[in-house]
Amino acid sequence: MIYPHRYGNICGEQRMLHRTMKQELLDVKFMSEAMAQAHEASLAGEVPVGAVVVMGDEVIARAQNRKESDKDPTAHAEILAIREAANRIGSWRLSGATIYVTLEPCPMCAGAIVQARLDRLVYGAADPKTGAAGTIFDLPRDMRLNHWVSVTGGVMAEEAGTLLEKFFSNKR
């Protein structure tokens, strides 16, 4: 179903085809910053997932997984980045912001992205076990919800996937 007030005169999939070269370059730039967070997480013994929240062309929050360090099952990179961004701007509504995350969000994080009213989600590697942005579930684009998030997947997917594979192969 197409919601003209949300997507203009084209559906979300067609809109993705119209991404500009400038937007693609910005996506790689900000995903690189998320990858730096993922590398830090790996060095700390955490699953290497990193996230950054961007408003305009400015990074307003950075985070990495801290489940083990914080002994907190909700300390995913996305949740921590959303919290930091909300504190920074003084509002839980992150309208106009984009979150870049190295791994497709799980259901908890995808739900938080919707609840925070982020405009856009950009992720690196797909998650075939718990991916909730198109792989297993598609919470950000579920038309039954009161807010929808534009999703771009696969940005620097190979690099993000390789980092995760190396991390888990070292754990075994």
Active site positions, annotated = 78
Cα–Cα distance for residue pair 172/1, rounded to 1 Å = 45
Cα–Cα distance for residue pair 152/119, rounded to 1 Å = 11
Question: Residue 21 — φ and ψ, nearest 5°?
Answer: -60, -40
Of residues 68, 69, 38, the one with CA closest to residue 166: 38
Strand residues in 43-135 grouped as ranges (E): 50-55, 58-64, 97-103, 120-125
Cα–Cα distance for residue pair 54/170, rounded to 1 Å = 32
Cα separation values, 9 from 19, 49, 63, 142, Å: 15, 35, 36, 19
Question: Residue 32 — φ and ψ, nearest 5°?
Answer: -60, -35
Cα–Cα distance for residue pair 171/45, rounded to 1 Å = 9
